[in-house]
Amino acid sequence: MSKTLLKNGRLICPSEKLDMLGHIIIEGDHIASVVTQLPDNADFDTVIDCNGCVIMPGAIDMRVQSADPGAEHLESLSDLLAAAGNAGITQLVSLPATSPVIDSAVMIDSLKLRASSYKGALFHLYGAMTQSLDNKHMAELGMMAKAGVVGFANSLESVSNSLLMRRIMTYSKMLDKPIIHHCSDPYLSKDTDMNESETAIRLGLIGEPSIAETIILERDLNLVSLTGCRYHAAHISTASSIEALRLAKRKGLPVTADTSPAYFLLNDKATADYNTSFRLNPPLRDEADRLAIIDAIADGTIDAIASDHHPIEMDRKMLPFGQAACGAAGVETLLPLAFSLFHTHSISLTKIVNALSVAPAKTLCLPIPKLAIGTKANITIVKLSSSSVIRGSDFMSQSQITPFEHYLIDSKVAGCFVNGISVTS
């Protein structure tokens, strides 16, 4: 059985209320010791000096759109899992908007079997809320739950039919699975190009009002109150949505939320030169919304930070802004961008680690990642002071379009272990 020593790191584990300088010993696939003093005369197969690094429970990316099956030329499942592991992500959850759509137990069984043979991040799935994401007919939620999905989502297709949404929530409550919902009123967001703002007017682009998100969110929260379903609001981007979530949490509703780095690091002025790398869904919002998102991460209104990884073909981006596809790569920049909140906004390391590991696990009822003796050695190591520039061409994945091209970061992933195996190159 191999033995690995991670020494001289800052151990941060929210679930164990741990924040100290220390060392971790990995034996086989589990954590054998968490200590402040190294044992005498111990032999190790591998020793990694983690001086200047945070050693944290393995990061979980709870919002990833795999291109496989259906668009393997963009990014195969094996490439995605390898790139995620190399980027410090020990587990990821894939959305159902593949081709064919993940709306049956057969699809789930097939993908889980394939993923189990690949090195890198561990793989989980959301089942589609509606058949083929059609927003008309509820999918076979019970069969997918038995097949092992961690929740139900409709990718970027918001369920606008309130009666259908109520039925989906009622069944999800019975199955004890969360709903993960993209909130966007389809009538207010249809044929829009970017956020409704002065920038949109100046660029001659059609704007989506921020209430397009909040209207659907507030409806969903009322349905949560009615059904008792566990509900997760995905990639929240507006200040008004934050206020709705705060109120729901004060009422004690079973509600959680995530956001993505684009919504706390960028605003809609980034689109000023029509760079389609910034065409995302939801669209980049204004500065007041961006600052509200940061405050919501700091006070816990937003529970988790996810990558919103969505690979897009280059020829679908090399179009006029309003015609270009929404989406960008995200898994390989998630951790350094999340840790930028520590460097630029003094959000605590414990809060950031929680948003990247513990909160996603709690939301999806996965085993809580922790730095504790006897637990699986799923560990992420982040070097806090290591300046570099993001370049899509450096990504391991074939998906290399990023809104953070040439963005300066102050942290980098220094290591990642999945079930005791190093998955970083």
Domain containing 288 — which CATH number?
Answer: 3.20.20.140
218, part of any domain: yes
The count of domains in the chain is 1
Compute the distance between CA of residue 296 and CA of residue 292 in angstroms, rounded to an integer: 6
What is this structure's pTM?
A: 0.97
With tokens 């660029």, the residue in question is 203
Quick: pLDDT tens for 260-299. Answer: 999 999 999 999 999 999 999 999 999 999 999 999 999 9
Compute the distance between CA of residue 96 and CA of residue 239 in angstroms, rounded to an integer: 28
Compute the distance between CA of residue 89 and CA of residue 96 in angstroms, rounded to an integer: 20
Other CB atoms within a 10 A radius of the CB of residue 61 amount to: 29
171, part of any domain: yes
370, part of any domain: no
Compute the distance between CA of residue 161 and CA of residue 165 in angstroms, rounded to an integer: 6
403, part of any domain: no
Query: 17: burial class by Cβ within 10 Å (0-12, 13-18, 19+)?
Result: exposed
Other CB atoms within a 10 A radius of the CB of residue 146 amount to: 12
Among candidate residues 339, 189, 328, the one with its CA nearest the CA of residue 264: 339
64, part of any domain: yes
303-329: average pLDDT = 97
Instruction: Please give the share of the chain, as a percent, with pLDDT higher than 90.
Output: 97
112, part of any domain: yes
Strands 412-418 and 408-409: unpaired
In which band, very low, low, confident or very high, does the pLDDT at 101 lie, cut at 50, 70 and 90? Answer: very high
pLDDT for residue 1 is more than 90: no
pLDDT value at residue 398: 87
Asked about 299 being catalytic, the answer comes back as: no
Residue of 79, 220, 303, 308 with catalytic role: 308
pLDDT for residue 65 is more than 90: yes
207, part of any domain: yes
Whether the link from the prior residue into 69 is cis, omega within 30° of 0, is yes
**Do 103 and 110 touch, CB atoms closer than 8 A?**
no
pLDDT for residue 40 is more than 90: no
With tokens 């300088």, the residue in question is 21
The per-residue DSSP string of 86-126 comes to: HTTEEEEEE-S-SSS-S-SHHHHHHHHHHHTTSSSSEEEEE
- What is the amino acid identity at position 155? S
DSSP 392: G
pLDDT for residue 57 is more than 90: yes
Compute the distance between CA of residue 86 and CA of residue 424 in angstroms, rounded to an integer: 4
pLDDT value at residue 41: 79
CA distances to 39, 306, 389 from 410, rounded to whole Å, are 33, 19, 9
Q: Which two tokens stand for residue 285?
A: 């919002």
pLDDT for residue 27 is more than 90: yes
Q: 151 is in which domain, residue-wise?
A: 58-364
Among candidate residues 55, 92, 121, the one with its CA nearest the CA of residue 353: 55
pLDDT for residue 29 is more than 90: yes
401, part of any domain: no
Among candidate residues 286, 224, 208, the one with its CA nearest the CA of residue 257: 224
The per-residue DSSP string of 336-351 comes to: HHHHHHHHHH---HHH
Quick: pLDDT tens for 365-416. Answer: 999 999 999 999 999 999 999 999 999 999 998 889 999 999 999 999 999 9
Q: Which two tokens stand for residue 104?
A: 């049956």
Compute the distance between CA of residue 122 and CA of residue 81 in angstroms, rounded to an integer: 7
Give the torsion sign (CA, 339, 123, 141, 367). Answer: negative
